Amino acid sequence: MEFNLNEETVLLKNSAERYLREKCPSSLARELIEDRVGFSKSIWKETAELGWLGLIYDQKYGGFEGAFFDLFILFEEMGKVLLPSPFLCSAVLSGLVINEAGDDSLKNEYLPSIIQGEKILTTALLDEQGGYDAQTPGVEARKTQTGSYVLNGTKLLVPYAHVADEIILCANVKDEKQGGPTLFKIDGNAEGLEKAALDTTGSEKLSALILKDVAASAESIIGSVGQGDVYLSKVMPKATVLKCGEMLGGLQRVVEMTVEYMKERHQFGRPLGTLQAVQHFCADMATYLETARLIAYQAAYLLSEGLPCAKEISMAKAWCGDAYNKTTRIGHQLHGGIGFTEEHDLHLFYTHAMVSALDFGSSWSHRSKVADELGI
Amino acid sequence: MEFNLNEETVLLKNSAERYLREKCPSSLARELIEDRVGFSKSIWKETAELGWLGLIYDQKYGGFEGAFFDLFILFEEMGKVLLPSPFLCSAVLSGLVINEAGDDSLKNEYLPSIIQGEKILTTALLDEQGGYDAQTPGVEARKTQTGSYVLNGTKLLVPYAHVADEIILCANVKDEKQGGPTLFKIDGNAEGLEKAALDTTGSEKLSALILKDVAASAESIIGSVGQGDVYLSKVMPKATVLKCGEMLGGLQRVVEMTVEYMKERHQFGRPLGTLQAVQHFCADMATYLETARLIAYQAAYLLSEGLPCAKEISMAKAWCGDAYNKTTRIGHQLHGGIGFTEEHDLHLFYTHAMVSALDFGSSWSHRSKVADELGI
Amino acid sequence: MRFVFTDEQNKFRQEIRDFLKSELDAGTFSVDVSGLVGGPDQEFSRKMAEKGWIGITWPKKYGGQGRTYVEKMILIEECLRVKAPIGYHFSADRQVGPALMAFGSDWQKDFFLPKIIKAEDGMQFCLLFSEPNAGSDLAAVTTKAVKEGDYYIINGQKVWTSAGHVADFGWMLARTNTDSSVRGHLACSEFMIDMKSPGITVRPIINIAGAHSFNEVFFDDVKIHKKYLVGEENGGFKQIMAQMDYERAGIERLMQNYPLFEQLKNHVKEMDKDKDGGYFYAWVRDQVAQLEIEYNIGRLLCYNTAWVVDQGQKPSSQAALTKAYCTQYEQRLNDVATKIMGPVSQIKQGAPWAAFDGDLAACNLWGPSYTLQGGSVEVLKNIIALRGLGLPRK
Amino acid sequence: MRFVFTDEQNKFRQEIRDFLKSELDAGTFSVDVSGLVGGPDQEFSRKMAEKGWIGITWPKKYGGQGRTYVEKMILIEECLRVKAPIGYHFSADRQVGPALMAFGSDWQKDFFLPKIIKAEDGMQFCLLFSEPNAGSDLAAVTTKAVKEGDYYIINGQKVWTSAGHVADFGWMLARTNTDSSVRGHLACSEFMIDMKSPGITVRPIINIAGAHSFNEVFFDDVKIHKKYLVGEENGGFKQIMAQMDYERAGIERLMQNYPLFEQLKNHVKEMDKDKDGGYFYAWVRDQVAQLEIEYNIGRLLCYNTAWVVDQGQKPSSQAALTKAYCTQYEQRLNDVATKIMGPVSQIKQGAPWAAFDGDLAACNLWGPSYTLQGGSVEVLKNIIALRGLGLPRK
């Protein structure tokens, strides 16, 4: 057991922290909430140039063959500033799906442009009820006589769909010979595809996708028919752990800003931080941070090393989601009225916590997976 | 809505409190733990003379036709001093079962002597796993050719079985024509009945009953064959609510003794009660007490008035059990080492809380009943 | 003891329900989970006034009906069930009226009470208590009221003023003794202040739900006649503590997001029980049963507090305990509902996929305020410990 | 970074497991959930000593192996998994040795360390810190040590002394500066004291589990030679704070009732899944999964703290956080297990119906002590806030 970061990772972490602190002050994050596009194109370009988008991909696609753990560290840093970015949906989810399921020509066609940030893809995961179940993905693909497909159904809460060049989604192919959950790649402006921007509590731009007789060629299938759930199940663990990193970064900032405020803010003639109730709340926050850090780092490490870690990932996601939520709650309680104002940063983290805890499976569903792993 | 006790109830409550405070100091409760019999025969006699045992029974059996609510108040007071007594198992459970299911001759034979404390009965409810399910009561009654029955099986955690003159239990009659859960009354010294005293965490004397070919005549059946679960289901709500009263009394004492100690005990050069963490803990305790009081009183009132209250009873039992446990936990945390010593009273309440929360259905099972009542 | 309502009370409740249903059916208002009570609507308040449902506990001589606080709670409970728009008269009815009756001058009572009770123009109140450096610690207020002849000159700043931008009158705590060696507890007074007075500037504070519910209020040489001083000079702190009990004694702290609870229970009845091997439904069932217990207990606490007031007792520790418990329930409801509804809980009103038509998203955003408004849970616990249990201050 | 053990560490763990298994099989001891670690058994400690498993982190010059604290934690973790009887040397190994190495004289080191490390006769230690009026507040100790020539004369009383009735030596904090105007933090010293010294009276305290695990210890003109003073006179408080970190840094605060967890998981695998419509099992499943998460996190916290020590850093806030978290987990485990097992959880060892052969009843009774021993959760949270987060004291 060694709990320190490797030297190169420390260098990467520090430089990422510096870069993001400079480029993404909270004022930018707020601006982007109001912005239609919802992310900074210049930062997006720079993250590509810094090699972040391609960090874990093969060199032949322009990647850097870096460790997954380092990517996790980047997400932790992005979480600290709540950088709005299609990084996760494009360069992680969509890129990895293609990397996992695509053939060489598909990879050669897409990965370099994803890695360079030239193309933005997104992957639609949730059905109309907000559920994720690749077996019943909420979109149906009817095979036509010509061998192409017609897609109908709804996908919900799809990040950055409004700017995505192409959209990956899982649809259920109805075919007697070979059917089942299948990954399709459709154009962001496909005919019959309605993209409804959703007004949500969080800061990320999310859309509903309503597919009405959207035509998809057989070539638009990624990988094999009926294997969509298998491909996704290989990619989801990574996205889940990166979300843990993002939550961890946010959690850390909430603890920092709250403890700082408790040192400064005076009430009853002395700093609030001298009150025992405040001190105990802060100790609880510190405990959530430390525990979330350890359990998330463990999952990221094991996944990065290619070691078995299904249970560890679910433990991390369940715990980090709860810990982040509880910490932002305490943060609000200690900040009082000021934290409830739009101009304070705290609420950005509060809603981020709430939404992130539900992304890629709720705490309950991950506890259920832990139970599965325990054989109960 | 009126939240004050009626005048007569106040009188009864005050006199019961005075009586019990005088007669049942904690030294007695501790002595009785060591005692083989486990309760004070003189107090038992006096509670009969005071009319407590017969409070809710018909005058024709020597009862006083008092309100059930007043009986609840007595249990609250007994809970404050943790009076060890076969009151609940004999004069409530067994008496009410006979009152509910017995014919006139049975009532005439038993109720007066139960009410006068001359006979002690107990009712065995739990099966070998500690479960309560009148449908599968854990004892089988095989009908013989002569029309009598042979009982086999085990009952667990039966209060005061070691001194009971007779024992009521539910057994499953195996008979093609008319079978099912049936109440039997067997002699406390019946042949084939092994009574194993159980060493438990609580102060009440509990036994396991192992029935090996215990003979029971057809006359020993209370009520009709196959109706045992129905009779019990009419009596259990009352016992459950009285247990809430007992818990409420204990809870109140724990709050009192802890708050008192926090005013006296000095650490860091001032009373512990000046520490904000201590104050907040005490506020939590007070909240558990007040909430438990309201929800328990509500159930007792409704039951006493004959109004529908299945949901209210389950709400009371679930909440009181949790509140009492949490309160004793806080009590221990605030008392520190001294509360962890055998000579301090606190642990009597701690184990009482733990055991009572499991009696007559755990908090979980009562929440499940609340869900049933909600139609979910 | 009687844990049921009287026939008369049940009839009263039915009367209110019928009224509210007909208003809802007529589209006068719609259920809204944001904010403590439904928004200000003078027209609606007038209808309530006509029914005699403002100042219902006030003595007949002020136009009230001298009914009990339990009956008032029945009224408010029914209003909150559908979040009826009682915001115009709510503060005046709950706090201002009782405070005037307790501490006001004859002129003040005669002038304000009849107007409030009829929901007349100019009778919406806001509360000017908190300041940037006097939040939980009200004794630290620094807004000054300096007497000059028949007038007081006000200078300073208030914050977290709900409805400050629409209110006609403010109910203010200000420091009248400028000797800084005198503790704030003995140096403050209460005033009523016309919000249109020259020198008052109101600046909006947008909250995290995107709503303009709070304000900063600045006072720059604002002049008020001494007849607007309420009660004794320098006796304001004591008065305000007594009034706070009434602020805390209401059922509005339990039911701010009540419509969510109804919707959640209905949802659970309809949900797919077999999802995730039935495990999820079992968990939901247990969570909702626990909420049902907690809600019912909160309701008993509220009615008990109302009953305590009806007995002529000060409900101070009782009200603090009730509010602390109830607001924590409101947060738990919000949390549990979010966990049950999952990702669609983040979708705001407008989209067809929004959980409970966006009510859950709204509650998510208002959630952090539940346990802060009108005294944080921690301040309330201090009150329970010190005033209720008599724990030592030092 | 490496969240796995090295091959060598895994080998070491296996070696310990093999040893413990053979001892268990041979009936040398049985698993016992009462008490922090398995009871004192000098014979067993000698076997451990022969393996080099006492003082494993100590430098070679004192007979140790200079291994890491992570390796020591592997050792203790395996011992606690089966609650091996390491009580004879546990305190001396964990605290006394490191304290002597840090603060002791050459004579003390040469005399005690080799004896401790070999589990020789007379080397069981007890800790004489707490007093009736100095529990959480150790600076308030009043037991006096007055110097007379080459000796100190001890008078006073200690309490909560685990193993005080069987220990050979006591490790004591006493006040050496009798000037009451000097704060306790600067007035206390540490001593080692032969428990057979004339003037010492040990009185048992029976705890709520019915066990004699604590004692009161009275000192009546007890004379100890100055060579038993550890470190600086009046420097004891500072020393003890440093030692406390080691007391808190162990995995024994997570695993006191570990056997319960294993038994619970096995029980759940076998239980009737369809009882109560399957709802109960679903609830149990969720509860146990949560415990599994909490346990795993606790374990990471412990190993992290050990690693921090290996880096040569003081683990003070880290150790406090770890202990506060872990002891709360132990209580949660106890609570959840009780709720799952139901009424049979109250049956003590001996009856065939007892849950987990009475282990659960034992844990029920020991439960209240988990979050109190060696610094209550509240004291630990103060340390996290003040030392870890730098919140102001005043």
Return the CATH number at D117: 1.10.540.10
Is the pLDDT assigned to residue B176 strictly greater than 80? no
Is the pLDDT assigned to residue D316 strictly greater than 90? no
Q: Given this model, what pLDDT does residue B258 score?
A: 98
Cβ pair A259:D292 closer than 8 A: no
Burial (Cβ within 10 Å: 0-12, 13-18, ≥19) of residue C31 = middle
Task: Report the percent of chain A where pLDDT is more than 90.
Answer: 96
- A3: contact with D, CB 8 A cutoff: yes
Q: How many CA atoms lie within 13 A of A259 on its CB side?
A: 24
Report the alpha-carbon distance of residue B111 to residue B118 in Å, rounded.
10
Q: How does residue C242 score in pLDDT terms, banded at 50, 70 and 90?
A: confident
Selected for mutation to probe chain B from D346, D347, D357, D379 (highest B CB count within 10 Å) is D346
Q: Given this model, what pLDDT does residue B257 score?
A: 98
B346 and B299 fall within a common domain: yes
Report the alpha-carbon distance of residue C160 to residue C132 in Å, rounded.
9
Token code pair at residue A84? 């709005």
Q: Considering C75, C99, C123, which residue would you say is the last residue of a domain?
A: C123
Residue C244: inside a domain, yes or no? no
A158 and A52 fall within a common domain: no
Q: Given this model, what pLDDT does residue C148 score?
A: 96
Query: Considering only CA atoms, which of B329, B222, B335 is closest in space to residue B273?
Result: B335
Q: Is D249 helix (H, G, I), strand (E, B) or coil?
A: coil
B234 and B184 fall within a common domain: no
Task: Report the percent of chain D where pLDDT is more than 90.
Answer: 89
Boundaries of domain holding B290: 230-373
Count of structural domains within chain A: 3
- C293: contact with D, CB 8 A cutoff: no
In chain C, which among 319-358 make CB contacts under 8 A with chain A? 331, 335, 338-339, 341-351, 353
Report the alpha-carbon distance of residue C71 to residue C77 in Å, rounded.
10
Residue predicted with more confidence, A290 or D394 = A290
Selected for mutation to probe chain B from C297, C299, C371 (highest B CB count within 10 Å) is C297
C220 and C304 fall within a common domain: no
Residue D326: inside a domain, yes or no? yes
A209 and A240 fall within a common domain: no
Q: Given this model, what pLDDT does residue B242 score?
A: 98
Residue A1: inside a domain, yes or no? no
Residues of chain A in contact with residue C345, where contact means CB-CB under 8 angstroms, are: 354, 358
Q: For chain B, what is the HEC assignment? A: CECCCCHHHHHHHHHHHHHHHHHCCHHHHHHHHHCCCCCCHHHHHHHHHCCCCCCCCCHHHCCCCCCHHHHHHHHHHHHHHCCCCCHHHHHHHHHHHHHHHCCHHHHHHHHHHHHCCCCCEEEECECCCCCCCCCCCCEEEEECCCCCEEEEEEEEEEECCCCCCEEEEEEEEECCCCCEEEEEEEECCCCCEEEEEECECCCCCEEEEEEEEEEECHHHEECCCCCHHHHHHHHHHHHHHHHHHHHHHHHHHHHHHHHHHHHHCEECCEEHHHCHHHHHHHHHHHHHHHHHHHHHHHHHHHHHCCCCCHHHHHHHHHHHHHHHHHHHHHHHHHHHHHHHECCCCHHHHHHHHHHHHHCCCCHHHHHHHHHHHHCC
Query: Considering only CA atoms, which of A331, A319, A302 is closest in space to residue A364?
Result: A319
Q: Considering A198, A226, A254, which residue would you say is the last residue of a domain?
A: A226
pLDDT mean over A308-331: 98
B210 and B258 fall within a common domain: no
If you compute the radius of gyration of chain A from its CA atoms, what whole number of angstroms results?
21
Q: Which of D206, D346, D376 is opposite residue B336, by nearest beta carbon?
A: D376
Running DSSP on this structure, what letter comes out for residue D57?
Answer: T
B214 and B299 fall within a common domain: no
- C101: contact with B, CB 8 A cutoff: no
Alpha-carbon distances of B109 from B60, B106, B219, C359, rounded to whole Å: 12, 5, 13, 63
B37 and B126 fall within a common domain: no
Nearest-neighbour CA in chain B from C16: distance (Å): 18
- D137: contact with C, CB 8 A cutoff: no
CA angle D331, C371, A257 (to 5 degrees): 80
A144 and A276 fall within a common domain: no
- D51: contact with C, CB 8 A cutoff: no
Residue B365: inside a domain, yes or no? yes
The domain that holds A148 is classified in CATH as 2.40.110.10
Cβ pair B315:C265 closer than 8 A: no
Q: Which of A333, A341, A362 is opposite residue C339, by nearest beta carbon?
A: A362
B96 and B187 fall within a common domain: no
Pick the residue from chain B with its C-alpha nearest to A274.
B276
C38 and C84 fall within a common domain: yes
In chain D, which among 351-370 make CB contacts under 8 A with chain B? 351, 353, 361, 364-365, 368-369
Q: Given this model, what pLDDT does residue A267 score?
A: 86
What DSSP string runs through A139-186? EEEEE-TTS-EEEEEEEEEEETTTT-SEEEEEEEEE-SSS-EEEEEEE
Task: Report the percent of chain D where pLDDT is more than 70.
Answer: 100
Q: Given this model, what pLDDT does residue C245 score?
A: 80
Helix (H) or strand (E) holding D366: helix D359-370
Pick the residue from chain D with its C-alpha nearest to B325.
D335
Residue D1: inside a domain, yes or no? no
Is the pLDDT assigned to residue A195 strictly greater than 90? yes
- A2: contact with D, CB 8 A cutoff: yes
**In this predicted structure, which of A267-271, B224-228, B292-296, C112-116 has the lowest mean pLDDT?**
A267-271
Nearest-neighbour CA in chain D from B325: distance (Å): 10
Q: Is A255 helix (H, G, I), strand (E, B) or coil?
A: helix
- Give φ, ψ of B215 to 5 degrees: -85, 140
Boundaries of domain holding C80: 7-123
pLDDT tens digits, residue range D232-276?
999 999 998 888 887 788 999 999 999 999 999 999 999 999 989
D356 and D298 fall within a common domain: yes
Alpha-carbon distances of D322 from A331, D297, D328, rounded to whole Å: 22, 10, 10
Note if the pTM is more than 0.95. Answer: yes
Residue A2: inside a domain, yes or no? no
Q: Given this model, what pLDDT does residue C154 score?
A: 97
pLDDT tens digits, residue range C50-93?
999 999 999 999 999 999 999 999 999 999 999 999 999 999 99
Q: Considering C234, C258, C283, which residue would you say is the last residue of a domain?
A: C234
C107 and C58 fall within a common domain: yes
Helix B363-374 vs helix D279-310: crossing angle, to nearest 10: 130
Report the alpha-carbon distance of residue C5 to residue A148 in Å, rounded.
68
Token code pair at residue B239? 């016992």
CB B276 within 8 A of CB B294: no
Residue A144: inside a domain, yes or no? yes
D131 and D197 fall within a common domain: yes
Residue C65: inside a domain, yes or no? yes
Residue C393: inside a domain, yes or no? no
Report the alpha-carbon distance of residue C210 to residue A247 in Å, rounded.
24
B321 and B307 fall within a common domain: yes
Q: Which of D1, D293, D393 is opposite residue A319, by nearest beta carbon?
A: D293
D219 and D312 fall within a common domain: no
Q: Considering C208, C234, C260, which residue would you say is the last residue of a domain?
A: C234
Residues of chain C in contact with residue D282, where contact means CB-CB under 8 angstroms, are: 278-279, 281-283
Q: What is the mean pLDDT of chain C?
A: 95
The domain that holds B261 is classified in CATH as 1.20.140.10
Residue B2: inside a domain, yes or no? no
Q: Which of B280, B291, B368 is opposite residue C325, by nearest beta carbon?
A: B291
D101 and D18 fall within a common domain: yes
Nearest-neighbour CA in chain D from B330: distance (Å): 9
Residue predicted with more confidence, B175 or A18 = A18
Residues of chain B in contact with residue C272, where contact means CB-CB under 8 angstroms, are: none
Nearest-neighbour CA in chain A from D327: distance (Å): 13
C166 and C111 fall within a common domain: no
Cβ pair C283:D278 closer than 8 A: no
Q: Considering A196, A226, A256, which residue would you say is the last residue of a domain?
A: A226
- Helix extents (H) in chain A: 7-23, 26-34, 41-49, 68-81, 95-101, 104-115, 228-264, 276-304, 310-335, 346-358, 363-374
Residue D320: inside a domain, yes or no? yes
Is the pLDDT assigned to residue A131 strictly greater than 80? yes
pLDDT tens digits, residue range B12-51?
999 999 999 999 999 998 999 999 999 999 999 999 999 9
pLDDT tens digits, residue range D15-70?
999 999 999 999 999 998 988 888 899 999 999 999 999 999 999 999 999 999 99
Residue C245: inside a domain, yes or no? no
N-term to C-term CA, chain A: 29
Q: Given this model, what pLDDT does residue B136 score?
A: 87
B251 and B347 fall within a common domain: yes
The domain that holds D183 is classified in CATH as 2.40.110.10
- D279: contact with C, CB 8 A cutoff: yes
The domain that holds B113 is classified in CATH as 1.10.540.10
C87 and C147 fall within a common domain: no
Cβ pair A277:B280 closer than 8 A: yes
Residues of chain C in contact with residue B298, where contact means CB-CB under 8 angstroms, are: 3, 300
Report the alpha-carbon distance of residue B115 to residue B113 in Å, rounded.
5
Q: Considering B103, B119, B135, which residue would you say is the last residue of a domain?
A: B119
Cβ pair D381:A315 closer than 8 A: no
String of b and e for C59-84 (b: at least 16 CB within 10 Å)?
Answer: eeebbbbebbbbbbbbbbbbbbbbbb
Is the pLDDT assigned to residue B271 strictly greater than 80? yes
The domain that holds C291 is classified in CATH as 1.20.140.10
Residue A86: inside a domain, yes or no? yes
Count of structural domains within chain D: 3
Residues of chain B in contact with residue A280, where contact means CB-CB under 8 angstroms, are: 277
D351 Cα distance to chain centroid = 30
B24 and B114 fall within a common domain: yes
B261 Cα distance to chain centroid = 29
Q: Is A198 helix (H, G, I), strand (E, B) or coil?
A: strand
Cβ pair B275:A276 closer than 8 A: yes
C383 and C264 fall within a common domain: yes
Selected for mutation to probe chain A from B272, B276, B282 (highest A CB count within 10 Å) is B276
Q: How does residue C316 score in pLDDT terms, banded at 50, 70 and 90?
A: confident
Cβ pair B298:C300 closer than 8 A: yes
C116 and C20 fall within a common domain: yes
C119 and C131 fall within a common domain: no
Is the pLDDT assigned to residue B76 strictly greater than 90? yes
Q: Given this model, what pLDDT does residue C135 score?
A: 81
Residue A45: inside a domain, yes or no? yes
Report the alpha-carbon distance of residue A92 to residue A160 in Å, rounded.
13
Task: Report the percent of chain B where pLDDT is more than 70.
Answer: 100
